[in-house]
A and B are shown apart, each in its own frame.
Chain A
Amino acid sequence: MSNYMVNLKINNIPVSVPEGSTIVQAANKLNFRIPTLCFHPDLSVAGNCRVCVVEITGARALAAACAMPVAEGMEVFTNSAKVRTARKHVIELLLSEHNADCTKCFKNGHCELQELAAEYRVGDHVFLDLVKASDKILDISSPSIQKDNSKCIRCQRCVRTCEELQAVGALAVACKGDHQRITTFMDKSLHNVVCTNCGQCINRCPTGALVERNYMEEVWDHINNPFKHVVVQTAPAVRIGLGEDLGLEPGHRVTGKLVSALKHIGFDSVLDTDFTADLTIMEEGTELLTRLKKAIVDKDETVTLPMTTSCSPGWIKFIEHTFPELLPNVSTCKSPQQMFGALAKTYYAQKKGLDPKNIVSVSIMPCTAKKFEANRPEMRASGYQDVDYVLTTRELAMMIKQAGIEFTKLDDMHYDSIMGEGTGAAVIFGATGGVMEAALRTAYEIVTGREVPFNNLNITPVRGMEGVREATITITGTRPEWSFLEGVEMKVAVAHGLVNAKELMTAVRDQKASYHFIEVMACPGGCLGGGGQPIPTSADIREKRAQAIYAEDEGLPIRKSHENPEVVQIYKDFLGEPLGHRSHALLHTHYKPRKRY
């Protein structure tokens, strides 16, 4: 944005803003909030809902404040009679094509349309009801996402999200006029198209048109069933996001309260996905080193490098559709959620003397794609569905409210054991670059016997919010068995948001870039910005969550995965060694090419 300042008046109050600012931005500076619906800070400006219209002296028509740049001497009125009439009309019109059954709606209380309707005291009875019966048929084909056209206000935020942030393009606007609608290729169900289930569209949908498939009732039923042993695991990013849905500011860490709330709700055992995140590092780190050894020492041509991470199921489905030829590059490690699931009904069951068929395995995730992942046919290594129910951070917040728990007043509690221990390396899985950092902390030490040469273990080059980040680490002073890596410059790359992943992997495919190891997270910011996290989201909010994650890491006594005592123990008691026979059966998986077109 330019340094040149523009002077204008809003509601007769003078204000100066940089050239190129919009009227919305100028008004914000004066603490006037102009209502918006199609606008989202992460997306390009559409200017289609028209709820933000304002009056500009001298102009015949009103202007969309989200799109209109300021000009010198401009006089803007945000609440004139003309503006208020138009704004109310726009809201009434939206409601007239909207199935406003708020009391039954998943978004009740979290809906931007509902909020506006309440603010302006308008209902859906002014104009004729235009809701089409056919629009009331829900698309629940996907285990992750529910699409309800009767609640769609055509703001196109989802379409822009899927295209601009995710480069997937599963959603598009079709037809025109009264037939215009948001849909998929040939109106197919979401499950049958290229959708990755990432849920980023949900995070930006202002209404209940796109929400997660929710499984709260099912989980409550199991909790209330005395014959079931319900274990729950919580992903790293949940502990830094959950508070936002329960009255706290973004960036609040609530790990202890989270555990406490889950116990209050009645889960039989409250465990941590961090445990299997650490385990992932052991397996994936070993896999990487093995691939490197085969490539460098054995000159094995069949080995594929770079190796990419595999813990983001949105990323997995994306690569299956978009770059099926690169599937051999993907680590065979399951995601921490699925490793946990497989172990819960084997290792955990054994240790606790439980019949796995009576275990109900629930996970709390910042992610909607994990709901799909849990349902993949490959994910039944224990002989049962490894993870039975996946709830989003948002669903958990709702359950906490349903349970009448005063969250902010809870005392902190500790995770149960076994499989409840996690390190700082596991926590940072929740931020983009975190898996890379955790892997480097461990791999470097395995190879050299020394800690990574970064101040306080913080590998800052792989941190941050740049879409694609690269780093090079020169390996020196190797242990004898790793001497083939002496002097090797380890080249790594990190991408988050599938649009960036696509760019990076296109370069890899076209051999325009060479790396050893790549981390990809489907969601902007990594899991902390996942499709199951509290709404709203913005760069600012994601930044605060990232800070919380790194603070959590620094506050933990153990910050390297290979030092997690429970991890050491499980290899001793159960798994043998990384990539060993049992690991293979329980912790690794394979992928299937899917069609993009």
Chain B
Amino acid sequence: MSKTETLVRALVDKHGKSRNSLMPVLQGVVKEERYLSEEAMLEVARELDISAADVFGTASFYTFLDTVPRGSYVIRVCKTIACHMAGKDVVIDALSDMLKIKVGETTVDGKFTLLTANCLGWCHKGPVMLVNDEVFPQITAQKAVEIVEEYARKK
């Protein structure tokens, strides 16, 4: 059994073999593998007896359930109004310069993906970004770069 298959089966065992478990199972896969590969979606479909298209269609509805490969660290900078006013553009530009990728892209070493997000719920402390599940409010261009550098030093 491949790594992905093992992961999916474990998640299905944990959450149960019903349609209601689809979200937690997909979330579990993304947590481990950062995105939903074709293999993972097929395996989930088989395990939960849902059509593959339906799994893909459902996953693609949700911004955080990516169906294209993502880096180990997914950076999401809020682009909505309050953060816009607070200067999200300079943050994004700084990260983009530092990582040498545009929004939507992943670094060649597969470490970082740079994305934007809609309101993250920290509008009084914009700009704000998420790195995977961790949140960083009140950032500046420089602070954002430092935070990402910190991640870059992790293995």
CB distance A169 to B46 under 8 Å?
A: no
Q: Which residues of B contact A186 (CB under 8 A)?
A: 38, 41, 56, 67
Name the interface residues of B37-54: CB closer than 8 Å to any CB of A: 38, 41-43, 45-46, 50-54
Q: Contact partner of A183 among B46, B55, B57, CB < 8 A?
A: B57
Name the interface residues of B4-35: CB closer than 8 Å to any CB of A: none
Name the interface residues of A178-213: CB closer than 8 Å to any CB of B: 183-186, 193-194
- Give the bracket for the number of chain A residues in contact with chain B: 10 to 19
- A193 CA to B53 CA, complexed, in Å: 9
CB distance B52 to A597 under 8 Å?
A: yes
CB distance B61 to A597 under 8 Å?
A: no
Residues of A within 8 A of B (CB): 163, 168-176, 183-186, 193-194, 596-597
Q: Which of B43, B45, B60, B61 has the most CB of A within 10 A?
A: B60
Q: How many residues of B contact A (CB 8 A)?
A: 18
Q: Which residues of B contact A183 (CB under 8 A)?
A: 53, 57
CB distance A176 to B61 under 8 Å?
A: yes
Residues of B within 8 A of A (CB): 38, 41-43, 45-46, 50-58, 60-61, 67
CB distance A172 to B53 under 8 Å?
A: yes
Q: Give the interface SS of chain B, mostly helix, strand, loop or mixed.
A: helix
- A142 CA to B131 CA, complexed, in Å: 43
Q: Which residues of B contact A184 (CB under 8 A)?
A: 53
- A173 CA to B57 CA, complexed, in Å: 5
Q: Contact partner of A169 among B54, B60, B67, CB < 8 A?
A: B54
Task: Return the chain A residue nearest B38 by Cβ.
Answer: A186
- A173 CA to B55 CA, complexed, in Å: 10
CB distance A175 to B54 under 8 Å?
A: no
- A173 CA to B60 CA, complexed, in Å: 9
Q: How far is the CB of A147 from chain B (nearest CB, A)?
A: 13
Q: Which residues of A contact B58 (CB under 8 A)?
A: 172
Q: Which residues of B contact A172 (CB under 8 A)?
A: 51, 53-54, 56-58
Task: Return the chain A residue nearest B46 by Cβ.
Answer: A597
CB distance B57 to A194 under 8 Å?
A: no
CB distance A174 to B60 under 8 Å?
A: yes
Q: Contact partner of B61 among A171, A175, A185, A596, CB < 8 A?
A: A175
Q: Which residues of A contact B38 (CB under 8 A)?
A: 186
- A596 CA to B67 CA, complexed, in Å: 20
CB distance B45 to A597 under 8 Å?
A: yes
Q: How far is the CB of A176 from chain B (nearest CB, A)?
A: 5
Task: Return the chain A residue nearest B43 by Cβ.
Answer: A597
Task: Return the chain B residue nearest A176 by Cβ.
Answer: B61
- A135 CA to B38 CA, complexed, in Å: 23
CB distance A174 to B42 under 8 Å?
A: no
CB distance A175 to B51 under 8 Å?
A: no
- A253 CA to B60 CA, complexed, in Å: 48
CB distance B56 to A169 under 8 Å?
A: no
CB distance A185 to B53 under 8 Å?
A: yes
- A597 CA to B45 CA, complexed, in Å: 7
